[in-house]
Structure 1
Amino acid sequence: MAVRLEKALELLRSWPAFRVFRHADFRLLWFGALISFTGSQIQMVAQGAYVYEVTGRKTALALVAVFGMLPVTILSPVMGAVVDLFDRRKIIILTSIALFLATAYNAYGASTHTLTIMQIYAVALIGGFVQTVEPTSRQTIVREVVGDQDLAQAVPLQAMTFNIAKSIGPAIGGILTSAFGFATCFWANSISFLAMTFAAMAIKTKTEKSERRPQPIKDLIFEGMLFTMRNPSLRMLFLMEGALSLFGMPYFFQMPAIAKDFFHLDEAGLGVCYTANGLGALTGLITIATLSVRPIKTRIVRNAMSTFAVALAALCVTRNFALALPLFAILGACSISMFNTTNTLFQLISPGQLRGRVLSMHLWAIAGLAPLGNLWMGWIADAFGLPVALGIGGACVAAGAVLAFANRKKLIEPVVVSEPVEREGGGAR
Structure 2
Amino acid sequence: MASRSTDANQDTAQARAAASSSSTFSPLRHPSFRLLWIASLASNTGIWVQNTGAGWLMTSLAPSPIMVSLVQTASMLPIFLLALPAGAIADILDRRLHLIWAQGWMCAMGALLCVLTALNMIGPWGLLALTFSIGIGSAMNSPAWQATTPELVPRHDLTQAIVLNSIGFNIARSIGPALGGFIIGLAGTQAAFAFNALCFLVLIMALVAWKREAPRSRLPKEHFLSAMRAGMRFVGASPLMRTIILRSVVYVFFSAAVWGLLPLLVRHRLGLGPEAYGMLLGAMGVGAVCGGLAMTRLRRRLSSNGMVFMATLLSAAALIMLGLARHWSLAGAGMLFYGASWIIATSTLQARAQMIAPAWVRARAIGIYQLSFNGMLALGATLAGWLGDAVGVHWALLGSGIGGLVAGTAVRALRLEGPALQEAPATSIPEPEAPAPELAGLLASDRGRVLEGVRYRIDPADRTAFLAAMAHLRQVRMRSGALWWRLYEDVAHPEYWAEFWAVESWTEHLREMDRLEPEDRAIIARAAALHRGDTPPKASRYLAQDPLIAQGRHS
TM range (shorter): 0.7 to 0.9
Aligned length: 401
More helix by share: 1
Q: 2:399 aligns with which of 359, 371, 392?
A: 392
Structure 2 equivalent of residue 75 of structure 1 = 82
Q: Select which of 181, 196, 201 maps to 2:203.
A: 196
Native 8 Å contact 1:298 1:412 kept in 2: no
Give the 3 Å change call, closer, same or farther, for CA 289–105 of structure 1 in structure 2: farther
1:142 Cα deviation from its structure 2 partner: 1.3
Instruction: Tell whether the 8 Å contact from 2:146 to 2:363 is kept in structure 1 after alignment.
Output: no
Q: 1:294 to 1:95 in 2, by over 3 A?
A: farther
Flag the structure with more relative contact order, 1 or 2, with Cα contacts below 8 A and sequence separation at least 6.
1
Equivalent residue for 2:366? 359
**Aligned-pair CA distance for 1:262:** 2.2
Pick closer, same or farther for the CA change 1:250–1:225 going to 2, 3 Å: farther
Runs of 4+, deviation exceeding 3 Å: 207-219, 289-295
Q: Which amino acid is the alignment partner of residue 181 of structure 1? A: G
Paired letter, 1:343: Q
The 8 Å contact of residues 210 and 353 in structure 1, kept in 2 or not, is answered as no
Residue 323 of structure 1: aligned partner: 330
- After superposition, residues 230-309 of structure 1 pair within 5 angstroms as 230-289=237-296, 291=298, 296-309=303-316
In the TM superposition, 1:129-148 aligns within 5 A as 129-148=136-155
Sequence identity (%): 27
Equivalent in the alignment of 2:474: none
**Partner secondary structure for residue 275 of structure 1:** helix
User: Contact 2:54–2:71 at 8 Å: present in 1 too?
Assistant: no
What secondary structure does 2:350 align onto? helix
**Cα distance change on mapping 1:125 and 1:264 into 2, 3 Å:** same
Quickly say closer, same or farther: Cα 1:289–1:242, change in 2 above 3 A: same
Q: Deviation at 1:320? A: 2.7
Residues 123, 99 of structure 1: alpha-carbon distance in 2 compared, 3 angstrom cutoff:
same
Partner of 2:381: 374
Classify 1:233/1:206 alpha carbon distance in 2 versus 1 (closer, same or farther; 3 Å): same
In structure 2, the residue matched to 1:95 is: 102
Check conservation: 1:152, 1:289, Cα contact below 8 A. Answer: no
Which residue of structure 1 aligns with residue 348 of structure 2?
Answer: 341
Aligned 8 A contact 2:90 2:144 in 1? yes
Pick from 125, 129, 136 the counterpart of residue 122 of structure 1.
129
Secondary structure at the aligned position of 2:25 is classed as helix
CA distance in 2, matches of 1:267, 1:90: 37
Distance in 2, matches of 1:318 and 1:214, equals 55
User: Quick one: structure 1 residues 166 and 413, their matched pair in 2 at CA, closer, same or farther if it must change by over 3 Å?
Assistant: farther
Pick closer, same or farther for the CA change 1:122–1:311 going to 2, 3 Å: same
> In structure 1, what residue type is equivalent to 2:340?
A
- Deviation string 1:381-429 (CA, Å, 9 cap, x unpaired) is 1122112221222222112211232333x643889xxxxxxxxxxxxxx
Contact 1:36-1:192 at 8 Å conserved across structures: yes
RMSD: 2.2
Tell me if 1:412 matches 2:418.
yes
Gaps of 5+ in 2: 1-20, 422-555
Partner in structure 1 of residue 17 of structure 2:
none
Instruction: Kindly provide the amino acid, as one letter, of the partner of residue 271 in structure 2.
Output: H
Q: Residues of 1 paired with 2:111 and 2:234: CA distance? A: 40
Superposition deviation, residue 283 in structure 1 = 1.0
**Match for residue 153 of structure 1 among 157, 160, 167:** 160
Q: 2:213 maps to what in 1? A: 206
Higher strand share: 2
In the alignment, is the contact (CA less than 8 A) between 1:107 and 1:186 conserved in 2? yes
1:171-190 aligned at under 5 Å gives the runs 171-190=178-197
1:393, 1:250 → 2: CA distance? Answer: 7
Structure 2 counterpart of 1:412, one-letter code: G
Taking the aligned partners of 1:204 and 1:303, their CA distance within structure 2 comes to 40
- CA deviation profile, 1:15-72 (whole Å, cap 9, x unmatched): 8221111111111111111111111111222221111122111111122222222222
TM-superposed CA distance for 1:291, in Å, is: 4.6
SS of match in other structure, 1:406? coil
Letter paired with 2:63: G
Moved more, 353-362 or 215-224: 215-224
Q: Which residue identity does 1:298 align to in structure 2?
A: N
Cα drift, residue 209 of structure 1: 7.1
The C-alpha deviation readout for 1:227-276, integer Å capped at 9, x for no partner, is 33433322221111111222212312321111112211101111111111
1:361–1:209 distance in 2 versus 1, CA, 3 Å: farther
* TM-score, structure 2 normalization: 0.68
TM-score, normalised with respect to structure 1: 0.87
The structural deviation recorded for 1:143 is 0.8
- Cα distance in 1 for residues equivalent to 2:224 and 2:183: 48
SS in 2 for 1:369: helix
Long gaps (5+) in structure 1: 1-13, 416-429
- Shift in Å, 1:96: 0.8
Q: Match for 1:54: what amino acid?
A: L
Give the direction of change, closer, same or farther, for the CA distance of 1:215–1:16 in structure 2 (3 Å limit).
closer
Task: Give the letter for the 2:66 counterpart.
Answer: T
Kept in 2, the 8 Å contact 1:145–1:205? The answer is: no
Q: Rg larger in 1 or in 2?
A: 2
Q: Could you tell me whether the CA contact under 8 Å between 2:183 and 2:191 is conserved in 1?
A: yes
The 1-side partners of 2:379 and 2:217 are apart by: 33
Distance in 1 of aligned mates of 2:289 and 2:184? 24
CA contact (8 A) 1:70 1:368 kept: yes
- Change over 3 Å in CA distance of 1:266–1:211 after alignment to 2: farther
Matched, 1:113 2:142: no
- Alpha carbons 1:87, 1:209 under 8 Å: kept: no
CA distance in 2, matches of 1:383, 1:216: 47
Instruction: Determine the C-alpha separation between the residues in 1 that align with 2:285 and 2:86.
Output: 29
